[in-house]
Structure 1
Amino acid sequence: MENNERGAIAPLTSYAEAVDWINGLIPFGIRPGLERIEALMEHFGHPHRRLKFVHVAGTNGKGSTCAFLTSVLIHNGYDVGTFTSPFITKFTNRFQYNGEDIPDETLLELSNRLRPVVKQLAATEMGSPTMFEVSTALAILYYADVCFPDVVIWETGLGGRMDVTNIVNPVLSVITNVGHDHMDILGDTLEKIATEKAGIIKPGVPVVTSVSQPEALNIIKQTAASRNSSCYAAGEKFFFQKVQTDDPMQKLHFQGPFREFDLSISLRGEYQLENAAGAFMALEVLRQYMAFQLEDDKIIEGFRSTFWAGRMELVQHTPRILIDGAHNPEGAAALAQSLSHDWQAKKIVLMMGMLSTKSHEDYLKHILPLVDELILTEPDFRKKMDAYALAEIVEGLRSIYAKDHLQITVQPDWQKALTEFKTLIGPDDLGVISGTLYLISDVRAQLLHQADSEKGW
């Protein structure tokens, strides 16, 4: 793996080596800016310019929206690339083609193409490309040189304007919503965060958004207007209503500029209705203006069959255990709403673990009023939040937000915490595991007995 006698880099020889090399770039951190990805793409002849992208940004709901779009397009006969992050089970999850992960050997081959170029760049004043920059470059090479999808569903990593994925010029942009997350990088107000998300809007390229806060929506609309981009905003250009039903599926009635439509989705959580409506509006734009051939019955089936791991996912029935990667205030509000409306339980037992890079008071204000027993733990990740520090925050909020009988357990070892958590859930109770996806991925793998699980950003 090291340099050989002539100074050339010996090739990586296995999938595990390739992933180790890419993850070895993590210490270079998150470095907003496009100069390194542009240099990488220039070396390979700008392969992204040969691809058709739908670019998806937002604080929450990006992954689910990408899943809806991918499923519907595949059902309609399109070959679809899907680039998302983080991954839940395996590193290859982030690079999918028609719902299947990139083959291990292809990831190895593309890593060996990228590695000498990354080394060259590292020696310049630009410095080494980051893990996410290399992953993004690998995705572009996979789609442009290996599998040639009709369209790539392209999720931002962080923000939008300075995010590595913003190197592409899409046929459509989608901004799911704006909330309080990554404020250390994106800004400390909704307006600043909205400005970063709106950075994916390209001249003349339409944008669909479900952003609801007036101050954030105004920025997105102003940005779209300044770039001559049509803006389809929820509550203005399209609307949806939840349809009450005894069916376990959620149903919604969509009203848009082109037609009305009824959809059913199997994803749990009322917030998924908003994601589904935004995805349907995006598909309507593709159908009306980009000549995508989409048949109604296949649209319906595509929405019905959409699955997204780790989001309001019932991973065990006896006792009932629900996992949800809510890790910011807006995600917590959506989880709390779903727990209040969609689940009957004698008591709710919650296990949670967080990263230290975020503020968790607002998250806890939404969740604590519903919880009877709380287990605080730590994800197996370098930026983990100390479980005892999290407990101090809970104690500070307890008298105002928590139930009088709330029981709190602190167990930093997530595996021991999971064992204890399972003993607390009775047959009429609901166990919920929430927080950072670094915890969710480990817990999910253990509960579903997935021996080959990896995890990461």
Structure 2
Amino acid sequence: MNQTLEFLYSLRNQGSKFGIERMQEFCKKLQNPQFSFPSIHLAGTNGKGSVCTMLDSIYRAHGYKVGLFTSPHLIELGERIRVNGKLLSFRQIEEWTDQLMPIFKTMKEKDPEMRPTFFELMTAIAFLEFKKQKVDLAIIETGLGGRLDSTNVLDPLISVITTVGYDHCEMLGDKLEQIASEKAGIIKTGKPVVVGWLKQAAREVVIERAAKLNSPIHLLDEETGGRLPQTNLAGSFQRRNAALAQKTVQLLSSTFPVDQPIIEKALQNVTFPGRWQKISKAPTLIVDACHNGEGADASLELWERLPSHAEVWFAACGEERAEDVLSPLLQYVQKVTLFEIDQPRACTHQVLQKKIKNFPGMVKLAQEKDIPQLHQQLSPNSFVLITGSIYLIASILSFHQHAQKSKSSQSWQDLW
């Protein structure tokens, strides 16, 4: 197990490579497992994880066997690949990795640039596991962009584009039209696409792409008429996500029949860790992976309701992301603790302090290792919003899991 763990760590640390040719070749050598099950494919700057989780909840409530592939994971690697809500264990990941190793080595030896990445390996494992388990339907989230994402080897029944905003600009482009073009790359000829609330520049790109491919397009900003379904997830933006999920299942109802009362009930029973999730009452701790400007815009309505004594624990990967979230957030709190997290792209204290130089409240600096001590110092009536980088959220959840003695029964290799 240690060898497999080290191998996966090394792959992940080598980062991503943009392009789809490796994945096409990889899948070809695996006899294209992605075509062995019906699928729904989702892209978007924000919201795609929520919509994936809602779709999973709806279809499972109807008794379908559902595969779910999302990223990144918070605590356990197997969170990325689930069948009917059950995480893939590390032992299963290890077995798949061992099976794929000969192909991996062959591709690497033939051309080092054709070596599959960590994300491509995990995508292939998801496809193989869903084929093995004979899922009725798979819900697949893109990792980055869409057009060149490793998941875009699918032939889905339907595509969903949730939002288009400025994120990963170094890879997707720094203009909204460029980013929209990448997201719209998941649209398939003749297959329907469901589209969320987009700014006009992005909207036009997606409409043009759908028209070019003769793909029926459903623009929810026009179709809902302001009537949005209810969901248990916090924020009106989650009601928009629920509308996307509901529209998607309605469009597929001839293949996968659904009942409206069951849809409504499923949307009220969505479990999505790390999204405005209260993990403690005394002190009150809320974790929320809001890591970019578009997410900050959506979260304003939640921040406005924070109590006057609320404080923030914050970390970020990327200067622009830090500024886009901190600038509006700090209007609603009196105290902030800035974390340097153990990630290569993490913002340093120096960078974070520059982003809040005009903040009049109290500022503390902390390292990831300080979490237990800082938690111990909180009083029962403390109210802490932990936000920004998903890596900080993961550290807090991992700490809380251990502190509450609710550690997963799986082996330690699952926690990384």
Task: Give TM-score scaled by structure 1 length.
Answer: 0.85
For the structure 1 residues 440 and 280, does the alpha-carbon distance in structure 2 shift closer, same or farther, using more than 3 Å as the test? same
- Displacement of 1:169 in angstroms is 0.9
TM alignment of 1:381-392, pairs within 5 A:
381-392=343-354
Q: For residues 439 and 419 of structure 1, what CA distance do their matches in structure 2 show?
A: 15
Change (3 A) 1:394 1:29: same
Matched, 1:441 2:403: no
Q: 1:33 and 2:19 equivalent? A: yes
Instruction: Name the CA shift for 1:19/1:153 in 2 (closer, same or farther; >3 Å).
Output: farther
Partner of 1:247: none
User: Out of 94, 119, 122, which is 1:135 matched to?
Assistant: 122
- Residue 447 of structure 1 aligns to a residue whose secondary structure is helix
Aligned residue number for residue 338 of structure 2: 376
Contact 1:232 1:238 in 2 (8 A): no
1:359, distance to aligned residue in structure 2 (A) = 4.0
Structural mapping, 1:159-174, within 5 Å: 159-174=145-160
- Cα displacement (A) at 1:421: 5.8
1:281 match? 247
Task: Please give the secondary structure, in 2, of the residue aligned with 1:54.
Answer: strand
8 Å CA contact 2:325, 2:388 repeated in 1: no
Query: Could you tell me which residue of structure 2 aligns to residue 325 of structure 1?
Result: 289
The count of residues paired between Structure 1 and Structure 2 equals: 408
Q: Which residue of 2 aligns with 1:423?
A: 377
Give distance in 2, aligned partners of 1:239 and 1:181. Answer: 29
Find the counterpart in structure 1 of residue 107 from structure 2: 121
Q: How big is the shift at 1:364?
A: 1.7
226 and 425 in structure 1: CA distance in 2 versus 1, 3 angstrom threshold: farther
**1:340 corresponding residue in structure 2:** 304
Q: Give the superposition deviation at 1:276.
A: 0.8
Aligned to 2:182: 196
CA root-mean-square deviation: 1.9
Q: Which shifted more, 349-358 or 46-55? A: 349-358
Partner of 2:274: 310
Task: Please give the secondary structure, in 1, of the residue aligned with 2:327.
Answer: helix
1:422 Cα deviation from its structure 2 partner: 6.0
Higher helix proportion: 2
Identity of aligned residues (%): 30
Structure 1 partner of 2:142? 156
Q: Which runs of 5+ in 2 are unaligned?
A: none
Partner of 2:205: 219
In structure 2, distance between residues paired with 1:393 and 1:188? 21
Deviations 1:101-145 (A, max 9, x none): 12333222211111110111111224311100111111111111x
8 Å contact 1:352–1:434 — kept in the other structure? yes
Q: Does 1:100 align with 2:86?
A: yes
1:20 aligned partner: 6
How far does residue 358 in structure 1 lie from its aligned partner after superposition?
4.7
Match of 1:206 in 2: 192
Deviations 1:58-84 (A, max 9, x none): 011111110000010000011000000
- Is contact 1:349-1:425 (8 Å) kept? no
Displacement of 1:216 in angstroms is 0.6
Secondary structure (helix, strand or coil) at the match of 1:37 reads helix
With over 3 angstroms needed to count, the CA separation of the structure-2 counterparts of 1:231 and 1:312, relative to structure 1, is: same
CA distance in 2, matches of 1:119, 1:44: 14
Return the offset for 1:230. 0.9
Paired residue secondary structure (1:448): helix
SS of equivalent residue, structure 2 residue 218 = strand
Q: What code does the residue aligned with 1:78 have?
A: Y
8 Å CA contact 2:190–2:216 kept in 1: the answer is yes
Q: Is the 8 A contact 2:4 2:97 kept in 1?
A: yes
- Is 1:355 the counterpart of 2:317? The answer is yes
